[in-house]
Amino acid sequence: MKTIIFAHRGASKLAPENTMPAFDLAYQMGADGIETDVQLTKDHVPVLIHDENVRRTTDGTGFVQDYTLEELQKLDAGSWFSEHYAGTTIISLDQFLSWIKDKNLKINIELKNNVIDYKNLEKIVYDLLKKYDVLTRTVISTFNAESVKRLEGIDKDLTTAFLTSSKIKDLVGYSKNLGATGLHIRYRLLNRSIVRNAHSNNMYVATYTVNRPTQIMRCFKLGCHAIFTDVPHVAIDTRKQFETKANKDSN
């Protein structure tokens, strides 16, 4: 099994997170997939930004939910990272899916609904994924347990993942009971036991956010289904080293 490398918010160590430059760079590097975050605007348009508030990654202030799409796209979402990216804009999920539709990339949509539980976010996102015919290569993840349940109600065949950074008793069983297909855990929670337990329950385990080669290599050795990294080029090089050693050991 080859561990999938998702570019976390794109190649976000090298370009402003969740923007087209970061996504395009990850694609050029050869990442297997793109992970991105979705919030909902005042006019109910899903947009790609991690925080509920725009102040960290734009020149604006206030909450995403208080802006229309048109207003959001007037903000500069690149200068905070580097003057090279001045004028970079927040993009909608629709724009992102239009870009990725014809590319050989997997998609991870994280619903940012654990702080603000946006009404109908699951269905709005699902309908867009269906419109662009990318459901079979997409996983939808969320920290919101109720959201996982709602997603199963929309489409029981949808690939979904429960996200967590917390130690929860019988985490695999808890996630499976929610209806999740997979479990996306913070790296410090990763161990051989949780991977084996997930596999025995027909679930997969993915890990975030791993940027150091030693951490990445450990994920490969433990048989993680996927990793999320800000440096996809480093992960790709590390996977090549892992595969080369595995091939030598098998000969």
Report DSSP state, residue 24: H
| Gap between the Cα atoms of 60 and 183, Å rounded | 34
Q: Where are the alpha helices (DSSP H) in the chain?
A: 20-29, 69-72, 93-100, 121-131, 145-154, 171-178, 192-200, 213-222, 232-250
**Active site annotation includes 84:** no
**Active site annotation includes 8:** yes
Residue from 234, 249, 223 nearest 1 by CA: 223
Interacting residues of 194 by C-beta distance below 8 A, sequence separation 6+:
171, 172, 183, 185, 205
Q: Which residue in the block uniquely carries the two structure tokens 């929309």? A: 154
Q: Which one of 8, 184, 225, 233 is the catalytic residue?
A: 8
Report, as residue numbers or ranges, the catalytic residues: 8, 50
